[in-house]
Amino acid sequence: MNPTYPTTAQLLYLDLMKGVLTRTTVCEKYTSLTAHERPTKAIYRTLLPMMQKVLKSKGLEIVRLYRCDPEKRAVGLDWPPEAETMVGLKRLDNVQQCVMDVVASGVEGDILETGVWRGGCSIFIKSVLAACGDTERTVWVADSFEGLPKPNAAEFPQDHDDNHWTHSNLAVSLEEVQENFRRYGLLDERVKFLKGWFKDTMPTAPIKQLAILRLDGDMYESTIQVLEAMYDKLSVGGYVIVDDYGLKGCKAAIDDFRRERGIADPIMDLDGSCVYWHRAAKAFEMAAPARKPVQKYDVVLQSEMKA
């Protein structure tokens, strides 16, 4: 099937997907007690795990009421108890526009997300491809599936005080992510999983060409290792999306890489943390000349799509 611009019904499906994957359509009511707070009193720290173990064996769990702040959720500022993605609605809108743009413009290559957590953003990427009737591209889903690495301060001093690795709720198993794809009817042979630390999986990944590279690994290490292995595979006209430019380690990695490679494509800010750039001709990168920013892609997209 030739890729096409989604119909009204398909666009409504994508809106519903965004609402469900972020749980902004139907909000979460409860959150697990331990997921979001660590008891400070020693007695609770000892008692709580014991109580939870007993309750779990009876199919019960201690929860507290949870009130989602829609403004925070819209821009990916909270860690949702149940939603399959923490990136928020605005960043999913950006993903949709980028995917629809590369499909409409015939930019060749697959789509890679590095750092997927429960898989929601990658699931959404797959749903946009489905809505466009694109059956050729692979969605690559890369993660340790066991959380973030401990900082390697000797090699990456920018990460020396990074504590993401201490958050056990950032560790989501491969099986859980696959099951999430399956529940949305989006698990097929064009979804491929790269399990392991990026330092090991990126240099050997069997990816030939990329149209979109979405980085969501939070740290300097987890950002630079992906860029070094993958940037040269990104097609001209493709997109780099950086979820965590608001975090100092990630920002330093992006700034270092762009400076070293002379990348002059303008960085577009989405919401104060997530940024993206549209890859222009390679020649610009080598010479890094001062030039006018490219036209904002959503304007290009609207006019091109509706033509």
User: Residue 53 in contact with residue 92, Cβ under 8 Å?
Assistant: no
Phi, psi of 160 (to 5 degrees): -55, -35
What's the closest the beta carbon of residue 87 comes to ligand SAM, in angstroms?
Answer: 5
CA 306, distance to chain mean position in Å, is 28
- By beta-carbon proximity to ligand SAM, the closer residue of 6 and 149 is 149
- By beta-carbon proximity to ligand SAM, the closer residue of 138 and 225 is 225
**The binder of ligand SAM chosen from 19, 39, 133, 147 (CB under 6 A):** 147
220 binds ligand SAM (CB under 6 A): no
User: Residue 83 in contact with residue 29, Cβ under 8 Å?
Assistant: no
CA 281, distance to chain mean position in Å, is 25
Percent helix, percent strand, percent coil in the chain, to nearest 5: 45, 15, 40
What's the closest the beta carbon of residue 261 comes to ligand SAM, in angstroms?
Answer: 21
What's the closest the beta carbon of residue 112 comes to ligand SAM, in angstroms?
Answer: 12
Alpha carbon distance 24, 202 (integer Å):
33
227 binds ligand SAM (CB under 6 A): no
**The binder of ligand SAM chosen from 198, 220, 245, 297 (CB under 6 A):** 198
User: Residue 115 in contact with residue 217, Cβ under 8 Å?
Assistant: yes
- By beta-carbon proximity to ligand SAM, the closer residue of 190 and 199 is 199
117 binds ligand SAM (CB under 6 A): yes
Q: Which two tokens stand for residue 237?
A: 């006209």
148 binds ligand SAM (CB under 6 A): yes
- By beta-carbon proximity to ligand SAM, the closer residue of 140 and 198 is 198
109 binds ligand SAM (CB under 6 A): no
**The binder of ligand SAM chosen from 101, 110, 159, 218 (CB under 6 A):** 218
Site stretch for ligand SAM (CB under 6 A), options 61-69, 128-136, 216-224, 247-255:
216-224
Q: Which two tokens stand for residue 187?
A: 């698990």
216 binds ligand SAM (CB under 6 A): yes
User: What torsion, rounded to 10 degrees, do the Cα atoms 43, 49, 52, 56 define?
Assistant: -160
What's the closest the beta carbon of residue 270 comes to ligand SAM, in angstroms?
Answer: 14
What's the closest the beta carbon of residue 121 comes to ligand SAM, in angstroms?
Answer: 3
Q: Which amino acid is at 55?
A: L
Q: Which of 205, 212, 219, 101 is nearest to 149 (CA)?
A: 219
159 binds ligand SAM (CB under 6 A): no
252 binds ligand SAM (CB under 6 A): no
Alpha carbon distance 107, 105 (integer Å):
6
223 binds ligand SAM (CB under 6 A): no
143 binds ligand SAM (CB under 6 A): yes
Alpha carbon distance 23, 66 (integer Å):
12
**The binder of ligand SAM chosen from 87, 99, 129, 250 (CB under 6 A):** 87
- H/E element, 13: helix 8-21
User: Residue 253 in contact with residue 215, Cβ under 8 Å?
Assistant: no
Q: Which of 132, 88, 127 is nearest to 106 (CA)?
A: 132
- Residue with the CB atom nearest ligand SAM in the bound state: 115
Give the residues lining the site for ligand SAM (CB under 6 A).
85-87, 115-117, 120-121, 143-144, 147-149, 170, 197-198, 216-219, 221-222
